[in-house]
Chain A
Amino acid sequence: MTAIDYHFPTNNASVVPRHLFRVSPTVLSRDEAPIVRAVVDEPEFLSASPWQATIMQGLLETTALRLNWDSYGGLPTSMASISTAFGFLSQVMDGDTPLPSIVPLSDGGVQLEWHRGEVDIEVTFPVTDAPEVYLYDTVTGNEIETTPWSDRQLIRQFIARL
């Protein structure tokens, strides 16, 4: 069994989603570089399909970004954004869906992107603004802006064309 050791750049253990981790988060340091450590056993990760484990690992990696990572005051990705993005993906993806690219946002949010098949899809979960979905049909040139929680059928139709 392979254990994955996550270090979160925070001294607030409550930001770690405890239901995902075998070992309760432990505050290792409250100094200038605060760290909370949490451990998960990979095969049991989320008791989940492989894509869910892969996505969650990619999302968690963005929490390791340092303050000012983009040189413009960027914040590491918040666990709230990760949780929201993961919840959205769990509703629209299945095992055959290509994995999205994960783009951290400056405000601690996260953006998911697909650019393949006949479509471009961007789904944004900012901390400071409402979530957004951008859909672009490369065949017709038609573009649509909506939200992750509305037009679910339309979003699934675009994802099916990836």
Chain B
Amino acid sequence: MSGLSESALTVADEVLLYRRVHPDRTRLDERRGCNRLASAAFTEASHEVSIDLGDALKANGRTPESTLDGFSVDDGWGLVQISAGDARAAGAMVCRNPLDDNPCHGLVVGKLSRSKLIDLCVAARWVIRPKGACDPPHIRVQAQ
């Protein structure tokens, strides 16, 4: 866990968290005929999921969209946002983790069950939408 703890937590619930979405993180929803965000978008091997913190982006004069700099929407990349409160409601911690090359970097920390990862998917909103992507909610859509 890289020595991170809740005591390092200074991120308000309303702060938005931004994460890049690789083209392999969206898959066809055959009921809706569009590509839905996969719950795998919020996983990393370490159980520490990298994000950019919205308030830090603003303080550094960056836009949320800059998180996707260097990655092409034409190639299928996208950008999603959740709030720090969404992450905490799913049972994760949210920590600031500035890096030399990215002072806005943070981590969503915790081993989440599949249903909790899907909670994050349900909460996620597109900031930069890949072509053909479904509108939220991305999953757990009950039949009418």
Q: Is the C-beta of A91 less than 8 angstroms from some C-beta in chain B?
A: no
**Which of B20, B24, B28 is the one whose CB lies under 8 Å from A104?**
B24
- On whether the beta carbons of B140 and A71 are closer than 8 Å, the reply is no
Q: Residue of A at shortest CB range from B26?
A: A103
- Bound: A65/B24 CA distance, A: 10
Contact indicator B115/A143 (Cβ below 8 Å): yes
C-alpha spacing A136/B44, complex, angstroms: 23
* B8-29 contacts to A (CB < 8 Å): 20, 22, 24-25, 27-29
B114 and A124 contacting across the interface, CB-CB below 8 Å: yes
For A127, the closest partner residue in chain B by CB is: B45
> In this complex, which of B49, B111, B114 has the most chain A Cβ atoms within 10 angstroms of its Cβ?
B114
B115 CB contacts on chain A under 8 angstroms? 134, 143, 145
Using a Cβ–Cβ cut-off of 8 Å, how many residues does chain B contribute to the interface with A? 29
B28 touches A101 (CB 8 A): yes
A128–B29 touching, CB < 8 Å: no
Known contacts A115-B36, A136-B139; A145/B114 CB under 8 A: yes
User: Quick one: given A111-B40, A115-B29, are A138 and B142 in contact (CB under 8 Å)?
Assistant: yes
Q: Assess whether A132 is in contact with B139, with CB atoms less than 8 Å apart.
A: no
Task: Give A141-155 as 1s and 0s: 1 = Cβ < 8 Å from B's Cβ atoms.
Answer: 101010000000000
The 5 A-B pairs at the shortest CB distance, nearest first, are namely A107-B45, A116-B30, A101-B27, A134-B114, A70-B22
Residues in A lying within 8 Å of B, measured CB to CB: 62, 65, 69-75, 98, 101, 103-108, 111, 113, 115-118, 120, 122, 124, 126-129, 132-134, 136, 138-139, 141, 143, 145
A113-B27, A143-B115 known; 7 new pairs, CB 8 Å cut-off, are A70-B22, A73-B45, A74-B44, A106-B45, A111-B40, A115-B139, A122-B114
